[in-house]
Amino acid sequence: MKRIAVYPGSFDPTTFGHLDIISRSSKIFDKLIIAVITNPNKKPYFSIDERVKILKSSVKEKNVEIESFHGLLVDFMKKKNANVIIRGLRAISDFEYEFQMALTNRKLYPEIETVFLTPAEQWTYLSSTLVKEIARLGGNVKCFVPEIVVKIFKNKR
């Protein structure tokens, strides 16, 4: 049986922290699906098509697929025959929300397991929100995100 994992997120935008989690997850699982979500609680800076494009141009691992979806994650997981959710934890403050989500997903779909990965030390402080704020204020985000993100930020100004 293939070990298929899903790494869901808004990826608005993709950061080097995300890419670190993707790279490391791809070595653990036979197949990794990056599920770009539309979060109704957030107003994205990048369109869903832009976010998928950024990931497709930034992810080099051969066993990784990238697609967008909306709806319940557990329904997406069932459709993809996946039973592992990958979630990144940067700080202890992330844990409470992620723990709640993991338990809820397991209640909705008992076959699901959630695996928490911490990014490399150099990215533990980094968030998409922080990157967007720096970019909005005219700062250089090149050290935080792939080049395609830098270009799209410049085009949106």
- One digit per residue, pLDDT tens: the chain, 157 residues? 799 999 999 999 999 999 999 999 999 999 999 999 987 777 899 999 999 999 999 999 999 999 999 999 999 999 999 999 999 998 777 888 999 999 999 999 999 999 999 999 999 999 999 999 999 999 999 999 999 999 998 887 6
Single out the catalytic residue among 42, 60, 70, 151.
42
**Residue corresponding to tokens 């080099």:** 60
- Return the pLDDT at 90: 85
Catalytic annotation present for 128:
yes
Say if CB 87 and CB 116 are below 8 A apart.
yes
* Cα separations in angstroms, 131 against 15, 102, 118, 138, 143: 8, 26, 19, 11, 10
Single out the catalytic residue among 18, 25, 51, 87.
18
- Return the pLDDT at 156: 78
Catalytic annotation present for 136:
no
Catalytic annotation present for 42:
yes
- Return the pLDDT at 43: 85
- Return the pLDDT at 48: 94
- Return the pLDDT at 149: 96
Q: What are the structural domain ranges in the chain?
A: 4-156
Say if CB 19 and CB 147 are below 8 A apart.
no
> Domain 4-156 carries which CATH code?
3.40.50.620
- Return the pLDDT at 54: 97
- Return the pLDDT at 155: 84
Single out the catalytic residue among 31, 90, 106, 132.
90
State the Cα–Cα distance between residues 29 and 63, nearest whole angstrom: 9
DSSP 106-134: HHH-TT-EEEEEPPPGGGTT--HHHHHHH
State the Cα–Cα distance between residues 16 and 128, nearest whole angstrom: 10
Its pTM stands at 0.94
- Return the pLDDT at 5: 98
- Return the pLDDT at 8: 97
Catalytic annotation present for 154:
no
